[in-house]
Each structure stands twice: as structure tokens, then as C-alpha cells.
Chain A
Amino acid sequence: MDNRYAYAVGKIRAKEVRLLDLPKLLSILEAENIEEALKGLSDTDYREGLALVKQEEDFDLHLSLHMERVYGLISELTHDPQLTDLFILRNDFHNIKVAFKKKCGASVEEEYYLAPSVVNREEIVEAVETGNFFRLPPLLAGTLQEIEGIYNSSKKNIQLIDTTLDEIYLSHCLQVSQQAKCEFLERLFLIQIDLTNIRTFLRLKEMDKGRDFLKNRLISGGLLERDHFLKSFAGSLESFVDSLRFKDYYGIVKDGIESWKKSGSFSFLEKLFDDYLLNFVKKAKYISFGIEPLIGYLVAKEMEVKNLRTVIVGKFNGLFPEIIKEKLREAYISSRNL
């Protein structure tokens, strides 16, 4: 129990009740047209700047600005910025990817970069372009040095660079949460590593990539050993599912793969993975004082934004409500909690 978080948790609890529950999302989904759907958001935290949303891209920007405010709130409330900044750090890694691809010759728009970030993105872009990394924090400087090396030694393999950046990011998050002895956060990142590795395993199997390819793409440090994936790679999917029989992920992997085989689509599997992660962070609702409710709220917000994007982008593109409904993730709060 961390009494420093008394005020922060109180504030987050007040904010939690304003999160969108599933009935609210469904009512937006059932709206006759996009204008009505957007009107449905006018009594929520998303009302600010809603009038400016005229097309799909505006809504993405709207969500990004909303998330910036959420990150800002968490930064204000936290007493352990080294932990909460881990979520913002993801944007820095994203900005490195964009800056590096720009250096490789890709054309870049301003909107590709993410905010907020731990390090000013201009500094990242400059460091990537000039090769002068030493003004950056040690983690990012070391990362850039490493990916420069990979870029030169791997025949400019951008995919490997992106995967390496993902691995460095998750490993760093895990390491920081272990050092801070924050079990909740540590477990969260362990789950993220495992789920990412399972997804990588399935994706590469579907793409018919070799075992060596998988070896370089798996992230170390998860609850499931890298060898577990490597040994199962040559076998069938059924044997892979069986190998997880006594692991927590057995049910979601089994159901997800069954659905994939039936429909040919991974979307249900991805939904199950997201739901699993959300169900884990829901434990934070029962913690009275500590950083956990802040993290829970942040993850819940990220999932809520994902749900809202699914609904609104789906409506902008004229998808049938039934199809959109299938893709919706669970909500952090249920209407019974209110």
C-alpha cells in the first residue's frame, strides 16, 4: 500500500466512472449515421474538439490529442515518473522508427510522429540524421547505436530494426518495473512480451518464415521461454496449443486459433489477447492506494480509444454494425459498476 497515491487514486476513481462502458459503445455503434455517432460522444470526455471532426483522419487526431491529455494527467498524478513514463516512452520508440525510416529515404509527414514523448522528437530526428546520439538519454543513445549497427550488418533490414526496437523497449520496461519492485507492472509487461511472442510465432508461421527468422524476432524475458516457441515452430498448431495446456494463455490461444482456422481472420484472436490484458489490469480496481489504479486507467484508456476507433472508423467506412461489434474489446468498467 502506497499512501502517497491517496489523492491520485481518488482522482482516478472519479475519472474511471466516466470511461465508456460497452452499452455506451453499442449505442454509438447503433447510431444511424456518423453525425449521430459523433453526437453520442458529446456527453463524454471526448467532447472537447469533437466539432472539428469532419473525416476519418480528424478522428484519429482527436483521439491522439485526447490520449495526450490522459498521459498529461497521469504524469501530474504519479509519484513514480520512471514507471508511468514507460508508457510514454513507447512514443519515443515509435518516433525513432519514423526518423530512421526517414533517414532510409521514406517520405515522412509530421503526423507520423507521436506526442507526448520523453525526449523532444526534434532531438530524436536530429540525432538519427546526424548520427550524434550522445545528447540523448543513455537508453535512447544506446538503442540508436545498436540499430545503426544492425542496419549496416543486416543489409539494411528495416524489419529487423523495428523488431529490435520493440524488444529493447519491452525489455527496458520489464527491467525498470523489476528494479522498482512493482509486481503489477512487471506482470503487465511479462504478459505483453508473451502475447507479442505468441502473435509473432503465429504470424511468422502463417508467412512461412524459417526458424532462424523467428529466432531473431522473439523477445526475451517473458514467462514463456524463447525455446518453447523455437521447438514448436516446426510442429503443427495443435501441438503448439497443447504445449500451452498448463499455461494461462491456453484458453485464448486455443479459441483464437480455432476462430482463425474457421474464418481465416486473426481479429478474434487479437481481441482475446487484448481482453486478456485488460482483464489483468482490472485487478487494479481493487487496489486502494498505489500506482496500479493509474496504470489500470491508462491501459483502460488505450483500450477504450481502440474501441472507439473501431466504431467510428467502421462507421466512416460503412461497415455493418454486427461486424464492428465482433471486433470490440471488453470495457474496463461494466454498467453494473456505476
Chain B
Amino acid sequence: MRLAVNPTRMELLKLKKRLILARRGHKLLKDKQDELMRNFLSLIEEIKELRLTVEIELFQAYGSFLIARLTMGREFLDEALMFSQLETNLEVTYVPLMNLRIPRYRLNIEGDYFSYGLLTTSMELDRALKRYRELIPKMVELAEKERELEMLSYEIERTRRRVNALEHILIPNIFETISYISMKLEELERSNLTRLMKIKDIVRRH
């Protein structure tokens, strides 16, 4: 679709500059999209592996917890778990990546998860809590990577929309408009030339 501009030489120059800019922008965005896709694909592989590990380990931890639960009364289990001396702090920093602010989580765990008596608790509970304790950093890592993946996918979608808009709408439109203005200007040129020739002919006859 032609742009709504006056077919003047000035506009033609402007549009030619815009076309160069749009082509450069398109190339840059295309490169960005490729780089985002490369990051996205390698991250997917990492996440797939990590998620599988986390899910297996969660399943094992829950299995141990369930075995502890089988032999422990609810009251004793609740009492054992109602207070923890484990302190967890999560620091969030941001790193730039392709114009995105990717969060990086830093987990600080202090203290001991072991904060219950030994007479009324099952030995399986220790095992379950140990497994859960070992899992926390992996779960935070997974959360970090999945958040990165989510942001990357959103950015890829946005960039793809821009690339498509440039490639299929803006650049063809500018191109069409430039051709239109060029034709219009050439037509003007031709009509001017014809008029001049006509005038010259009239002058010569007199």
C-alpha cells in the first residue's frame, strides 16, 4: 500500500533514506531474532534436562516423605515440621541480554533443616528433608531458567512481529511509494519537456 505523501523530490529523498534505514533495521532485527532463537533453543535443552532431574528428585523426596508419613502420626509430623532453623534468602540481580533484563537468583541458605526431636520422628523424615534441602537450589535454578525462557519467547514473538512488519509492510510500502513518486516525477519531467518543445516550436514559427 502506497504511503500518503506528496509526490515531491523532497519526499522521494526522505523515503529513500527511510528505506535504507528500514532495511538496516530489518537486518538488525533479523540478526537479533536469530540470536534470540539460538539462545532459546539451547536454553530449552538445558531446561528439559534440569526439569527432568528436578522432577525425578522431587518424586524421590516425596516418596521418602510419604514413607515417613506412613509411620508417623499427623500430630508428630506437624510438630516436627512446624519450626525450621533454616533461613533462606533470595537475592535477585538483573543481567542485560538483547535488550532484556534477565533476572538472576542467588540463593543463600543458612542454618540446619534438622530442627526436631529424635524420639518420635521417623528416620525416613531425615532422608526426605535432606533430599528437599538439596533440591531447593536446583528448583531455584530451574525457576531462573524458565523465567529467562519465558522472557526470551516473548521477545522473540515481539521481534518476529517487527521483522514481519518491516519485511512485509513497511519496506514494500516505501518501495511502492518511491516507485510511484519516481514515476510521477518522470511524468512531470516528460510533460515539462513536451511543453518546452511545444513552446520552442511556436517561437520558431513566429
Find residues 48-87 in chain B having any chain A CB closer than 8 Å to their own CB. 64, 66-67, 69-71, 73-76, 78-79, 82-83, 85
Q: Which residue of B lies closest to A324 (CB)?
A: B70
The answer to whether A270 and B119 touch (CB under 8 A), given A60-B73, A159-B85, is: no
- Determine whether the beta carbon of A309 is less than 8 Å from that of B75: no
Q: Which residue of A lies closest to B66 (CB)?
A: A317
- Determine whether the beta carbon of B124 is less than 8 Å from that of A108: no
Point out the residues of chain A lying under 8 angstroms from B123, CB to CB: 199, 202-203, 266-267, 269-270
Q: How far is the CA of A207 from the CA of B131 in the complex (A)?
A: 12
Does chain A have a CB within 8 A of B110? no
Does chain A have a CB within 8 A of B112? yes
Point out the residues of chain B lying under 8 angstroms from A313, CB to CB: 66, 69-70
**How many Å from the CB of B23 to the closest CB on chain A?**
62
- Determine whether the beta carbon of B83 is less than 8 Å from that of A112: no
Which of A99-107, A235-243, A293-301 lies on the face that meets chain B? A99-107
Q: Which residue of B lies closest to A61 (CB)?
A: B74
Point out the residues of chain B lying under 8 angstroms from A202, CB to CB: 123
Point out the residues of chain A lying under 8 angstroms from B127, CB to CB: 206, 264-266
**How many Å from the CB of A110 to the closest CB on chain B?**
11
Chain A interface, DSSP helix/strand/loop, else mixed:
helix
Point out the residues of chain A lying under 8 angstroms from B79, CB to CB: 94, 97-98, 101, 112
The answer to whether A94 and B75 touch (CB under 8 A), given A166-B117, A166-B119, A217-B118, is: yes
Chain B interface, DSSP helix/strand/loop, else mixed:
helix
Total contacts A-B at CB 8 Å? 112
The answer to whether A327 and B67 touch (CB under 8 A), given A196-B118, A207-B130, A217-B118, is: yes
**How many Å from the CB of A33 to the closest CB on chain B?**
18
- Determine whether the beta carbon of B75 is less than 8 Å from that of A200: no
Q: Which residue of A lies closest to B119 (CB)?
A: A166
Q: Which residue of B lies closest to A326 (CB)?
A: B67
**How many Å from the CB of A17 to the closest CB on chain B?**
25
**How many Å from the CB of B28 to the closest CB on chain A?**
55
Point out the residues of chain B lying under 8 angstroms from A265, CB to CB: 64, 67, 124, 127
- Determine whether the beta carbon of A112 is less than 8 Å from that of B75: yes
Q: How far is the CA of A200 from the CA of B119 in the complex (A)?
A: 9
Q: How far is the CA of A57 from the CA of B112 in the complex (A)?
A: 28
Q: How far is the CA of A104 from the CA of B79 in the complex (A)?
A: 13
- Determine whether the beta carbon of B67 is less than 8 Å from that of A267: yes
Point out the residues of chain B lying under 8 angstroms from A106, CB to CB: 82-83
Does chain B have a CB within 8 A of A331? no
Q: How far is the CA of A57 from the CA of B77 in the complex (A)?
A: 12
Closest 5 CB pairs of A and B: A162-B117, A266-B123, A166-B119, A60-B74, A106-B83
**Sample of 17 A–B contacts (CB below 8 Å):** A63-B73, A94-B79, A94-B120, A98-B82, A105-B83, A107-B82, A156-B85, A158-B83, A159-B85, A159-B114, A162-B117, A203-B118, A203-B123, A207-B130, A266-B122, A267-B123, A313-B70
Contact residues of B with A, CB < 8 Å?
64, 66-67, 69-71, 73-76, 78-79, 82-83, 85, 112, 114-120, 122-124, 126-127, 130
New A-B contacts (6) at CB < 8 Å, excluding given A156-B85, A162-B118, A266-B124: A60-B74, A109-B78, A112-B82, A159-B116, A165-B117, A313-B70
